[in-house]
Structure 1
């Protein structure tokens, strides 16, 4: 489609053929096939890198929240999400689209987007899960 070699109307047939070739199954409906992912229906091709960016932002924000709210996890265990919501409202939500993402992450965390926080989060999480100490 992007290269102009196929048209949108051809996608269901191509999708089903590839599913059969690759996995040995044929979806019975387009909602089980080509439209199974919402991104296709609105043309969100190339959309998935935004998930990675979201993970980077989330890890950095989590790092800052844990510094500012030392009892962060205890609050969650008690079902008290209001302190977290208040932090998010004060440091992020109130600004809406006033700042660019980079300006906002600096404002909220004191530094530019930094992958080290996601790497630390993943290493900690999977070390515990898979006992990789």
Structure 2
């Protein structure tokens, strides 16, 4: 009986450094590609023909992306929550119609719509682009 005196081949140890690098790169990718914003739902219904009296309609015209709007010839800012709240406090049951100037961002329109809803307006609707 012959004994095998040859040494067994050594297994090379697998280096964990490249594996850790790949894991950190994947972690970084997923952290940067995900968003952490809180999505809110806004009720937007399709316009219908309604018999609304002209006295209860208030036309708001959005004129800039930074939230400036006009109402009855006066310019207000949506960033100043007090101005929106004062307008809504005058008549919460009125129909607030938001008209948007051409070329403005959709986000500024949604922000204005949201500020009127938060101020307590019962009915806020969107009109066509002017």
Relative to the length of structure 1, the TM-score reads 0.24
Write 1 or 2 for the structure with the bigger share of strand: 2
Larger radius of gyration: 2
